[in-house]
Amino acid sequence: MARILAPTRRNIDRIARSIRRGGLAAVPTETVYGLAADALNPAACESIFKVKGRPLTDPLIVHIRTMRELRSIAEVPAEAVLLARKFWPGPLTLVLKRKPIVPAVVAAGGPTIAVRMPAHPVMRRLLRATGTPLAAPSANLFGRLSPTTAAHVKAGLGDRIAWILDGGPCDVGVESTIVDLSNHARRRILRPG
């Protein structure tokens, strides 16, 4: 059964080490709890799909801490920089062209990647500790309600994961808004958040 860990430095380092070795952990963000893995490790990202029962055709959102990390995984047009300045860190996800370093499984085989810079302080500390972008869809079984507390994650995924990092109840409680900037001629909102 999953253990709920308080966001102490020791626990964050321990989860970061596990993620760097290909492990998974449920993590808090300001929108909903996410099921996080190293976004550059294809096997780890595949296990996100297995644990959630999520079809491989449904791509993951990748969380980053810095604009430098963003540029390492995606092509960044000027309008993405403008939106990032205004809304990041925060609940806005941008769909951009992905760079080859990103495993295909993260993007469901497509040419784009969905990226967000989260504001939650615990998630930011974890991103700093792992030093790698984290793929993290909502920490629920596919098709279920997205969890906004550690207890809610445990009720849904408790028998499938080892660790839940407790960051308290999520402030926003709804998923991020998703804007597609991958095609200059056809920019659009994919999901209101």
Binding residues for ligand AMP, rule: CB under 6 A, are 58-59, 61, 95, 107, 110, 112-114, 137-138, 175, 178, 190-191
Would you say 16 or 32 has its CB closer to ligand AMP?
A: 32
- Minimum distance of Mg ion from residue 15's CB (angstroms): 21
| Footprint of Mg ion on 25-64 (CB under 5 A) | none
Q: Which does 59 bind (CB under 5 to 8 A by kind): Mg ion, ligand AMP, none?
A: ligand AMP
CB-neighbour burial class of residue 13 (10 A; exposed 0-12, middle 13-18, buried 19+)? middle
Out of ligand AMP, Mg ion, none, which partner does residue 112 contact, by CB within 5 to 8 A per kind?
ligand AMP
Helices 9-20/121-130 angle, 10° precision: 50
Q: Could you say which residues in the range 58-97 bind Mg ion, by CB under 5 A?
A: none
Smallest gap from Cβ 120 to ligand AMP, in A, equals 15
Token readout for 38 is: 């190293």
CB of residue 8 to ligand AMP, shortest distance in Å: 26
- Closest to ligand AMP by CB, 112 or 130: 112
DSSP-derived secondary structure for 41-87: -HHHHHHHHHHHT--TTSPPEEE-SSHHHHHHHB---HHHHHHHHHH
- Edge-first strand order for the sheet with 92-97 is 3-5, 163-165, 25-27, 34-38, 134-135, 61-63, 112-116, 92-97, 177-180, 188-191
Q: Contacts with Mg ion in 108-147 (CB under 5 A)? A: 138
What is the Cα–Cα distance from 182 to 18, expressed in whole angstroms? Answer: 32
In angstroms, what is the minimal distance from the CB of 59 to ligand AMP? 3
- What residues make contact with Mg ion under the rule CB under 5 A? 138
